[in-house]
Amino acid sequence: MNQRYKQLLKSGFLVIITAFMVVSATVVYGDLAKNNDETYKGLSLFSDVLEEINQNYVEPVDSKELIQEAIQGMVGSLDPHSSFMPPEAFEDLQTETKGEFGGIGIVITLRDKRLTVISPIEGTPAYKAGIQAKDVIVKVNGDPTKDMMLWEAVKKLRGEPGTSVEISIYRKGAKKLLDFTLVRDVIPQESVRAITLKPGIGYLWITNFRENTSKEVKEGLEKLESENSPLKGLIVDLRDNPGGLLDQSVKVSDIFLKEGTIVSIKGRDERENKEFKAHNDTEAKDYPVILLINGGSASASEIVAGALQDNHRALLIGTKSFGKGSVQTVKPLQDGYALKYTIARYYTPSGKSIQAEGIQPDLVVKRRVLDESAGDGFDSDLIKEADLKNHLAAEDETTDEKKEIKEDASKEDAGKEDAVEEEIDKTATEAEKLMRLRDAVYEHSSTDSNKLLLDSQVNRAYEILKGYEIFQGLTKK
């Protein structure tokens, strides 16, 4: 189709098209003329343009395709999160929040008209390849993404597990485009993992917000609370969490709050305005909570962060979040089509809109890999008293049998630590190492959760919780 006419159809008068798709032009003209003369004129102009192209364009045109292109241009001009979806795109959206699907595992958006990664999904091909938040996808299988609709890009990236897709990425600071060949896989439904970081200190990692996330959070907390009696502190990791379902973010926040506002939604239509409040209907979670966020924390994860921060329930550590503070609804249309569009902004309990601003952590800590000699648990290479010849034994170290048990345990732990280190060292960059720290720990989770403390933000959170525990002990004496 001639590019000039495509642009014409996507210009200022495209607001007329939705009505044109739903009912006949005569009825629409009659209704709108009563309310808005300018809208009527726009509809009339569109009708003239469409008729002229149908009759006189150099090649035969498909009127239905023309109208769909026009609607896509209209809706896409509103904001990056609004879109007109054909049946296949609507089906994909429903699958994304309810079931498993084949893909590479990234959440994308249009930012300044560029196809931008919000964040990779933990454990997926994109995550393992080192795709990062704010990467710009410029090509998919050699096709430029400029002017590509969001649903079109999603469709190209998804596919049957085992098939491959090539993407070219622009990354700030890189001297050239980064090319990746990714093998599609089943994108997992699991969204929560829980592990004891140190005795009394739990680590809860929420990767996204799907249908069962709040249930998984409760199960994770039960696991941590049973392993640690009592649980003295909790680190909740929402870094690179692109969000998901609003109701799940509200339910997760409610788990940690006994009272107060969680989030409020305000739109043009007052009927869409809602305020979600906490309920004191769960067992008390009175241990201190530290929540980790970064630039990949968006939407639903920002709701949780804002709710816990404003209600003074958690200390936020990391870097500023993504800043996606709008609410979308999906309106099914005829013939399987759907309209996804923004209906409201959401506000934190203090009344702050984070749209395009993000949530600022209480304590800014940049993420990096720590040297193993720094931090609790990583001084294994340093000489200690026990390494000195003829060192004075502890009182309970009285038999050769105990010494042998201790030596065997040390060898076993060293072997597991080497396995974790080998997994981490497969990557070349610090960013990729950080993305794999958690994976390596979970693969060897029975022993070496200490490796998480190589992550500077996790390490700082642990130090604060440990310091709080020590201080409480001092004040009780």
Q: What is the pLDDT of residues 248-282, one digit of tens each?
A: 999 999 999 999 999 999 999 888 799 999 998 87
400 has a pLDDT exceeding 60: no
Tokens matching residue 140: 């998919």
pLDDT on residue 23: 35
Instruction: State the Cα–Cα distance between residues 61 and 195, nearest whole angstrom.
Output: 59
384 has a pLDDT exceeding 80: no
Reported confidence tier of residue 181, pLDDT bands at 50, 70, 90: very high
459 has a pLDDT exceeding 60: yes
26 has a pLDDT exceeding 50: no
45 has a pLDDT exceeding 70: yes
Does residue 472 fall inside a structural domain? no
Does residue 91 fall inside a structural domain? no
21 has a pLDDT exceeding 50: no
pLDDT on residue 450: 75
Does residue 379 fall inside a structural domain? no
| Rounded mean pLDDT, 433-453 | 63
- Contact (CB, 8 A) for 389 and 341: no
Query: Which of 294, 329, 364 lies at the terminal end of a domain, its last residue?
Result: 364
Query: Which of 296, 331, 364 lies at the terminal end of a domain, its last residue?
Result: 364
| Domain identity same for 150 and 295 | no
Reported confidence tier of residue 395, pLDDT bands at 50, 70, 90: low
pLDDT on residue 334: 93
Reported confidence tier of residue 429, pLDDT bands at 50, 70, 90: low
Reported confidence tier of residue 476, pLDDT bands at 50, 70, 90: confident
Residues marked as catalytic: 299, 310, 324
| Domain identity same for 56 and 137 | no
Tokens matching residue 86: 């054909």
| Domain identity same for 200 and 314 | yes
More confident residue, 3 or 275: 275
Q: Looking at 297-449, which runs of residues are DSSP E strands?
A: 314-318, 326-332, 338-347, 363-364
Does residue 61 fall inside a structural domain? yes
Q: What is the mean pLDDT of the chain?
A: 81
| Rounded mean pLDDT, 162-177 | 93
| Rounded mean pLDDT, 274-298 | 91
| Domain identity same for 353 and 238 | yes
Compute the C-alpha angle 94/95/100, nearest 5°: 160
- Contact (CB, 8 A) for 464 and 472: no
- DSSP letters spanning 429-456: SHHHHHHHHHHHHHHTTTT-GGGGGGBH
Q: Residue 123 belongs to what domain range?
A: 100-187
Does residue 178 fall inside a structural domain? yes
Domain count, the chain: 4
pLDDT on residue 134: 86
Instruction: State the Cα–Cα distance between residues 6 and 19, nearest whole angstrom.
Output: 20
Query: Which of 138, 156, 187 lies at the terminal end of a domain, its last residue?
Result: 187
pLDDT on residue 406: 52
Tokens matching residue 436: 């794999």
| Domain identity same for 316 and 209 | yes
> Could you tell me what percent of the chain has a pLDDT over 90?
47
- Contact (CB, 8 A) for 137 and 169: yes
Cβ contacts of 248 within 8 Å, gap of 6 or more = 209, 210, 211, 213, 214, 300
Tokens matching residue 95: 């699958």
Q: Across the chain, which distance is largest between two alpha carbons, in Å?
A: 100
pLDDT on residue 399: 52
Does residue 349 fall inside a structural domain? yes
pLDDT on residue 118: 83
pLDDT on residue 393: 53
Highest mean pLDDT pick, 91-100, 138-147, 181-190, 425-434: 138-147
pLDDT on residue 184: 95
Does residue 340 fall inside a structural domain? yes
For 187-208, how does the pLDDT look when each residue is reduced to its tens digit (9 = 90+)? Answer: 876 789 999 999 999 999 998 8
CB burial of residue 121 (10 Å; 0-12, 13-18, 19+):
buried
Distance from CA of residue 468 to its chain's centroid? Answer: 30
Which CATH number does the domain housing residue 291 bear? 3.90.226.10
| Domain identity same for 200 and 296 | yes
| Domain identity same for 344 and 244 | yes
411 has a pLDDT exceeding 70: no
Which CATH number does the domain housing residue 116 bear? 2.30.42.10
Cβ contacts of 150 within 8 Å, gap of 6 or more = 76, 80, 83, 108, 109, 110, 115
| Rounded mean pLDDT, 40-55 | 92
- Which range among 266-275, 310-319, 363-372, 401-410 shows the weakest confidence by mean pLDDT? 401-410
| Rounded mean pLDDT, 69-96 | 85
| Domain identity same for 208 and 357 | yes
Reported confidence tier of residue 387, pLDDT bands at 50, 70, 90: very low
| Domain identity same for 44 and 176 | no
115 has a pLDDT exceeding 90: yes
Compute the C-alpha angle 426/427/430, nearest 5°: 135
pLDDT on residue 360: 97
Give 3-state DSSP helix, strand, coil % of the chain, rounded to 5.
40, 20, 35
Does residue 286 fall inside a structural domain? yes
125 has a pLDDT exceeding 60: yes
| Domain identity same for 196 and 168 | no
| Domain identity same for 231 and 315 | yes
175 has a pLDDT exceeding 70: yes
What global pTM score does this model have? 0.73
| Domain identity same for 49 and 137 | no
